[in-house]
Amino acid sequence: MKKLGIDFYQRKDVVEIARELIGKMLVTSFNGIITSGRIAETEAYNGVTDKASHAYGGRRTNRTEVMYMPGGAAYVYLCYGIHHLFNVVTNIADEPHAVLIRAVIIVDGSEKILERLGKKILKNNLLKGPGVVSKGLGISTAATGTSLLDTNIFIYEDGFEVASSNIIATPRIGIDYAEEDALLPYRFVLNA
């Protein structure tokens, strides 16, 4: 087990990072309660030139400020007034790249995850959908800006190998407003 370090997050190619995050382990540890899952779906948001990104055109607001931090921070924001979406900030400071985690396969703490979701049985042992991933792992907007090099939220690799043929690239979800950028194959799905 090897926690991903600053050298992983601060690279320039956010699309490559999004692809490499498939198969890695995402862990949260709040109040001694550990939950984790293997990342099964990601989306890359490619900085100021990406019309789908909150930081498109260099937009800089209170909400998006975290995206301009050095790679290795968590960017969590509220969507539709209900859902807390968890992103990994990448690249160096002032290059606002991020990877949205859209699905994980539950590994540790399934009982706690079910409790957070208010459910008894979880289909496919999968947290599918970015809002549900955050809810199940206990991540909220309060965690935005948290360092992934710390112990509350982090990502590690455990030697689980994913053949590149088992990673499918597709356009991103829910970003029709992004015009031509809506078609970019920046979404990666683990072939189950």
Which parts of this chain interact with DNA (CB under 7 A)?
A: 43, 45, 52-55, 59, 61-64, 67, 75, 77-83, 85, 87, 98, 100, 117, 128-133, 141, 172-175, 177
For residue 130, the minimal CB distance to DNA (Å) is: 5
CA separation for the pair 42, 17 (Å, rounded): 10
* Complex with DNA: residue 133 or 184, whichever CB lies closer: 133
**Closest approach of DNA to the CB of residue 5, in Å:** 22
- At closest approach, how far in Å is the CB of 32 from DNA? 25
CA-based end-to-end distance of the chain: 23
Write the CB contacts of 36 (distance below 8 Å, at least 6 apart in sequence).
25, 26, 27, 28, 106, 107, 108, 109, 137
Min CB(3)–DNA separation in Å: 23
- Residue 177 CB neighbour total at 10 angstroms: 9
Nearer to DNA, 45 or 154 (CB): 45
Q: Which is nearer to DNA, 36 or 53 (CB)?
A: 53
Instruction: Give the single-character DSSP code of 28.
Output: E
Beta bridge partners of 63: none
What is the separation of C-alpha 33 from the centre of its chain, rounded to a whole number of angstroms? 20
Instruction: Output 32 or 186, the one with its CB closest to DNA.
Output: 186
